[in-house]
Structure 1
C-alpha cells in the first residue's frame, strides 16, 4: 500500500518547508501536495484522487475568518483537517471544529510537536481538538454551513461580501438562474428566509460583513 497523500496549504514557504519536514518524519513515504492560496488548495483537494490529510493555514490568502476550513471541508468532507495558526489555540480550535477540523498546530510549536500531531491524525487518533464551547446559535449555524456543497459555500460567501447575483454568477462562471437555485438551497439548509439573515452565518464563519 502506498503512503498517505497530504496537502500542505500555507502561504509562507518557510513554514511549508517545516510542515513538509515534519510530515516526512511522521510518514517517510508520504506524497505531499502544496498550495500557497486558498483557491489553489481547493483545486488541489478537488483534483486529488486520494487525500488523507489537509494541513491548512487559518489565515492564508483567499480565506476570511473560518471560510477556508469550511471550503476545504466542503471539497473533501471525508478528509481530516489540521488547522495551522498563530491564533489563540482555544478559540481557533473550538471554532474550527464545527467545520471539520480535527487537530490544531500552533505556528510557535516545535518540530517534534508538529510531527506528533500529524502522526496522530494519520493514525486516526484525533477524536477531539479542544477549545471552548461556542454559543448555541453560532454552533448550530456552523454545523449547517459545514453541510453546504463547495459551490453553495462560494455563493454564500459572495452574498456575505455584498455581491449581487449577477456578480456571483460571473465570478463562478455560472448563470444567474443557477445562483438563485443555489440560494434557495442555501436558505433551506440554513433555515433562513432572506439574505439579511445571513448575518448569523457570517458570525459563525467569523467573516467581515459588507456594509
Structure 2
C-alpha cells in the first residue's frame, strides 16, 4: 500500500540514488520520485503531487539561488522542504532557516545522518545544525517577499535571473503592461524605486554566500 510520495531534486546521481534507496528501505510504503532540475521537479509536482517531503539540492543548474526553493514552495504549499547542500556555512544554514525550510542537510555528513534528519522531518520536526542562529536581516527580507503575490514573486525571480520585461511577459503569458504593473507593485512593497535596487535588496535571500 502506498503511504505517500517523497521527491528528491538533486543533479548528482550518486547522492540522489543513495538517498532514494535508503528511504525505500526504511519506508517501503513510500514512492520516492527523483528530479535533476527545478523544471523536472515542477513537472513531477504538477503531475504526481501532493508530496510528504521535498529534498532540494540548493545548487541545481536552474535554481538561481533560493529562487528554485520559492518556485517549488509556491507549488507545494505546506509540504516541508529540506535543503541539501555541500555549502554548509553558517550564513547558508541561517538563510535556509529564515526562508521557511524544514531543515538543512549537509552533503558532507554521512548518509546515515542525512536519513536520520529525514526521519525527523517526516515526523513533523525541523533539522538544523545547532550552531545556526536567526538572521534578523534575512528574516526581514523574507517578510517583504511574503508580502508579494504569487505572480509578483515570479516576476521578481525572473528579474533576478536577468530576464527583460518582454521575456517575462512571454514566459508568464501576459502583456508587458501587466509586467510593468507588477513591477510597480513590487517596488512599492519592497520600498525601492527601480529593478536594480530590488535585485540588490533581495540578493542575500536568493544567493547567500
Partners of 1:186 and 1:114 lie apart in 2 by 38
Cα drift, residue 147 of structure 1: 5.4
Distance 1:154 1:27 in 2: 35
The equivalent of 1:142 in structure 2 is 142
Does the 8 Å contact 2:99/2:139 carry over to 1?
Answer: no
Change (3 A) 1:203 1:33: same
Would the aligned equivalents of 1:142 and 1:205 in 2 still touch at CA under 8 Å?
Answer: no
Which residue matches 2:59? 59
Moved more, 11-20 or 91-100: 91-100
Cα distance per residue 1:6-42 (max 9 Å; x no partner):
1110011111101102222332211112210112212
Contact 1:36/1:60 (8 A) holds in 2 = yes
- By how many angstroms is 1:121 displaced? 0.8
Moved more, 70-79 or 140-149: 140-149
State the partner residue of 1:108. 108
3-state DSSP class of the match of 1:50? coil
Task: Tell me, in whole angstroms, the C-alpha distance in 2 between the residues paired with 1:47 and 1:182.
Answer: 29
| Distance in 2 (alpha carbons) for counterparts of 1:6 and 1:147 | 29
Residue equivalent to 2:4: 4
- The reply to whether residue 24 of structure 1 matches residue 28 of structure 2 is no
Does residue 206 of structure 2 align to residue 201 of structure 1? no
1:127 CA displacement = 7.1
Kindly provide the CA deviation profile for residues 110-137 of structure 1, in whole angstroms up to 9, marking residues without a partner as x.
Answer: 2221211111111102276652332x33
Q: Secondary structure at the match of 1:65?
A: coil
Where structure 2 has 5 or more consecutive residues not aligned to the other structure, the ranges are: none
2:46 alignment counterpart: 46
Question: What does 1:91-170 correspond to in 2, within 5 Å?
Answer: 91-126=91-126, 130=130, 131-134=132-135, 136-146=136-146, 148-170=148-170
Of residues 48-57 and 177-186 in structure 1, the stretch that sits farther from structure 2 once superposed is 177-186
Local SS of the residue matching 2:133 = coil
Inter-CA distance 149–207: structure 2 relative to 1 (3 Å threshold): farther
Q: Could you say if the C-alpha distance between residues 148 and 38 of structure 1 is closer, same or farther in structure 2, counting changes exceeding 3 Å?
A: farther
Residue in structure 2 matched with residue 183 of structure 1 by the alignment: 183
Quick one: distance in 2 between partners of 1:128 and 1:147?
A: 26
